[in-house]
A and B are shown apart, each in its own frame.
Chain A
Amino acid sequence: MTPPATASTPAAPRPTKRAPGRRLGRQPVREREGAAWVFLSPWVLGAAVLTLAPMVISLYLSFTDYNLFDAPSWVGLRNYVQMFTEDPRLLRSVGNTLLYVVIAVPLQLALALVVALALKSLRRGQGFYRSAFYAPSLLGASMSIALVWRALFNDGGTVDDLLGRLGVHTGGWINQPGYALLAVALLTVWQFGAPMVIFLAGLQQIPQELYEAAAVDGAGRWRQFRSVTLPMLSPVVFFNLVLQTIQAFQVFTPAFAISGGRGGPADSTLFYTLYLYDRGFTASHMGYASAMAWVLLLAIGLVTAVLFRTSRAWVFYAGEEARS
């Protein structure tokens, strides 16, 4: 990925015309650093107070028994041991989360790629369609959309009604263990706008000559897609895959809203994060919830590392051959 344009070299202090250039140019470094810190302070303060400190505290809490009311008491590794040995519901939540990631991420990326390909060849109105398809990504994380989804897939809701007319009687999706997870996954798939925009940018970077050369060699459209588009796009595919996988592991709002915070029916939408929330805020086991949060962090790190490892086999960076 090329870095986004906005992140180009930070604006260095430019000498102004009015001030005597000599003195400004040799401003003591320490003084300039001081000014930098002052400007950085809102961010540094925010990161330290709102991110770093809570992380350190949560790491500490993960080794304690803390019920929100009494002072935390040190229990060593007990929370971690309990997670893997005597909590069947946690294992179910891991299974649900994995199933969800495996369903939602590939579907979402495939849809994003298909739409990006269709939009790429569009001569007019690309901007409009791009925005239109991107809109769900902006709305999708909100509670209100999750509630709309709930209404759509409810017993007697729109989807049930439409399918009923086709002769398929489901009796609602969100209230049946076999369908509920699918309804949540569809909500994620529907938000394919962000990866789509990135795909579109990637597609536009592929040099036209490659297609022309391929056409001269007699390659059809499918062959061109497989041998030119996919390899050239693979870094973008990889980027999207990593990003969406990380996000999918952390899915919370849609499952929370659709199942009313309980991960039902029959624990079928009980995702890891939902169970974490339940342990922390409903059952008041903040120590246990903290341990779960850290395990999630490690798991996501591990999955990302594995993805990076496999990427060597299938991600093609243009100009690589030149180096080797």
Chain B
Amino acid sequence: MPRTTLRAAGAALLAGTLCATLAGCSGSSAADEGGRVTLRFTWWGNPDRAERTEEAVAAFEKRHPRIDVQTSYTSFEAYKQKLATQAAGGDVPDVVQLDYRQISQYAGSGVLLDLDEQQRALPTDEMDRTLVRTGKYEGTQYALPMGLGTQVLAYDAKVWRKAGAEPPKPGWTWDDLLTALRKVARVHEGPVFTDIAWNEDWFELWLRGHGKSLYKGHGELGFTAADLARFWEFSSKLRRAGLTSPARETTQIDGAVENTPLGRNKTVAEFNWDAPSAGYEEIVGDGLRLGPFPSVHKGEADQYFKPSMLVGIAANSAHPREAAQFIDFLLNSGRAADILGVDRGLPVNERQRARVLPKLSGFERTLAKANESVAGLVKPPPAAPPRGDIALQSTFGRDYDHVAFEKASARQVAEDYITEVKSELRDQ
């Protein structure tokens, strides 16, 4: 009898240990030990950004020895999925990096903290007003921009010069771009430009030039299947002419700069956002330049400035004040501005921006110049896209695959896409 009791107890103990181990896996956030505070900070990016971010975090921890910041990062695609899952499980990290396209999803769901509650720890009065507004959702400040970014044409200036092509300049048009590309094609073998039509971001600018937008009002579509078909037919013409990358190159684009045709040295020019273009440097070398995005009408700019990314605090964070202090350090302090440079775009704090810009060199200087050159021309950014848009972004590229591989006509795929958009927006 005592023997069996002992055995039962042993088994129970074993089971107990197993449970404890399992529970340990789920990971509780921020345990207080003698006044120490642990913050979790997640973001997306590349190894270069990781290095700078870690350095900034170390500087913060030195200034606040009581606070420990644990960081983790992934690529953007994986980040989107991870954060959504964490949000569903009520386990959002204390400090999270967010995309402009994620704001409406998260802000409207009670996942993010109202930052006005932490205004003392996180003042915003030195920040760019219009940019700060992009972190608002229905009147509440849920996030703050981490940097200012814009769309650019990344190109190899050496090849451009060799061809005698006109370099991009503010106010230039799509026609100017085509003229330049044709010249470049004469001296460069193979496609010279990366297909433009896989990315909804570039379609958006093309729409802007034609006086339209992706969305209008509350989750209503701002364009028709005919608009999209025209854009895709335009890109298909360039592709068939051999000017732009073939489908089997374009389809390999996955969000990482090193997998784009320009990043793999298959073309000599490509559209991108300014901050991630730093990744081209390794492939293209010192010929890399960033030019303004072409516009539909001469002398205008269809591109716009938007927050390259935003940052927010989890509503259920146990340490909102410390989280606010951390964000304050990242966005407002000179120390962080010196370390981070323009890695996440131009600094949002205007005092820091004025201080940092003259000190830049190399690619960072190119980036800053590309921003400055269009500053007088750009119009305000569109409102944050509605919920559901984040999924449509990837659907857009996948649908274009069918056009690029000539599996279906542009018109037909455009109509499919409109159907998908409508169903997506209806479900939200």
Contact = CB atoms under 8 A, between A and B. Distances in A.
5 shortest A-B CB distances, which residue pairs? A69-B109, A283-B391, A68-B88, A265-B251, A266-B401
Contact of A86 (B4, B7, B8, B423): B423
B254 A260 contact: yes
B15 A41 contact: yes
Contact of A284 (B11, B15, B247, B391): B391
10 contacts: A35-B7, A38-B12, A69-B87, A69-B88, A69-B109, A88-B416, A155-B249, A176-B405, A264-B251, A281-B84
Given A35-B4, A265-B401, A282-B394, A175 B252 contact: yes
A34 B8 contact: yes
Nearest to A23: B1
Contacts of A19: 3
A323 B106 CA distance: 67
A283 B391 CA distance: 5
Q: Is the interface of A mostly helix, strand, loop or mixed?
A: loop
Contacts of B19: 45
B63 interface: no
B77 interface: yes
B32 interface: no
B189 interface: no
B214 interface: no
B398 interface: yes
Given A42-B15, A175-B249, A69 B254 contact: no
A70 B109 contact: yes
A282 B4 contact: no
Interface in A40-86: 41-42, 45, 65, 67-70, 82, 86
Contacts of B387: 67
Contacts of B388: 283
Interface of A: 19, 27, 31, 34-35, 38-39, 41-42, 45, 65, 67-70, 82, 86, 88-89, 155, 171-172, 175-177, 260-267, 281-286
Contacts of B7: 35
B81 A281 contact: yes
B80 A282 contact: yes
B391 A171 contact: no
B391 A282 contact: yes
Given A67-B428, A265-B401, A266-B401, A171 B248 contact: yes
Nearest to B405: A266
B406 to A, nearest CB: 9
Contact of A267 (B11, B14, B85, B398): B398
B219 to A, nearest CB: 14
A213 B159 CA distance: 79
Given A175-B248, A177-B407, A38 B11 contact: yes
Q: Is the interface of B mostly helix, strand, loop or mixed?
A: helix
Contacts of A68: 84-85, 87-88
Interface in B82-106: 84-85, 87-88, 105-106
Nearest to B7: A35
A9 B84 CA distance: 47
B327 to A, nearest CB: 23
Given A69-B109, A283-B424, A284-B391, A265 B248 contact: yes
B286 to A, nearest CB: 25
A270 to B, nearest CB: 8
A38 B8 contact: yes
B167 to A, nearest CB: 30
Given A86-B423, A175-B252, A262 B398 contact: yes
Contact of B402 (A38, A65, A261, A266): A266
Interface string B394-428: 10011001101101000000001001100110011
A26 to B, nearest CB: 12
Given A265-B401, A284-B391, A35 B419 contact: no
A288 B428 CA distance: 13
Contacts of A38: 8, 11-12, 15
Given A82-B423, A177-B405, A266-B402, 12 more contacts: A41-B11, A42-B18, A67-B427, A69-B108, A155-B248, A175-B248, A175-B249, A175-B252, A264-B398, A266-B407, A283-B391, A284-B84
Interface in B349-369: none
B314 interface: no
Contacts of A34: 8
B154 interface: no
A281 B391 CA distance: 10
B111 interface: yes
A266 B408 CA distance: 10
Contacts of A88: 416
Contacts of B77: 260-261
A257 to B, nearest CB: 12
Contact of B11 (A39, A89, A155, A285): A39
A42 B423 CA distance: 44
Contacts of B391: 282-284
A66 to B, nearest CB: 9
Interface in B183-204: none
A172 B248 contact: yes
